[in-house]
Amino acid sequence: MSSLSRDDVAHLAGLARIDLSDAELDKMVGELSVILESVAKVQQAGAEDAPPMSHPMPLTNVTRPDEVRPSLGADAALAMAPASELQRFSVPRILAED
């Protein structure tokens, strides 16, 4: 059982800049006590044999190897373009220079 008091909850609410009414303070004492008891139970679990991990299931990276391969050249890519300029697609301007 935690020794959390109403004054402790009021102090925490003040630190968090939360304005709680008297009824809310009384309710929070019980709710925060339950949370603290749950944390205490988790801390009692024997975790000495458990290795630290980032995920509960093992992850495998499924990327392909980074290999140089032939690719589409600029001339072939622009061959069917309606307009091109300086080896780039040319599109109509939609924004003014302002």
Per residue in 4-41, pLDDT (tens digit) is: 899 999 999 999 999 999 999 999 999 999 999 998 88
pLDDT value of position 44: 83
Instruction: Judge whether residue 1 has pLDDT over 60.
Output: no
Sign for the CA dihedral angle at 83, 87, 89, 93 comes to negative
**Does 27 fall in a domain?**
yes
Orientation of helix 6-15 relative to helix 22-43, angle to 10°: 90
Q: Convert the pLDDT of each residue in 48-82 to its tens digit.
A: 777 788 888 888 888 888 899 999 999 999 999 99
Confidence of residue 47 (pLDDT cuts 50, 70, 90): confident
Could you tell me if 33 and 67 are in contact, meaning their C-beta atoms sit under 8 angstroms apart?
no
pLDDT value of position 54: 83
How many structural domains comprise the chain? 1
pLDDT value of position 31: 93
Strand partners, 1: none
**Does 66 fall in a domain?**
no
3-state secondary structure of 77: helix
**Does 11 fall in a domain?**
yes
pLDDT value of position 28: 93
**Does 30 fall in a domain?**
yes
pLDDT value of position 2: 57
Segments forming the whole domain that contains residue 18? 6-43
pTM: 0.46
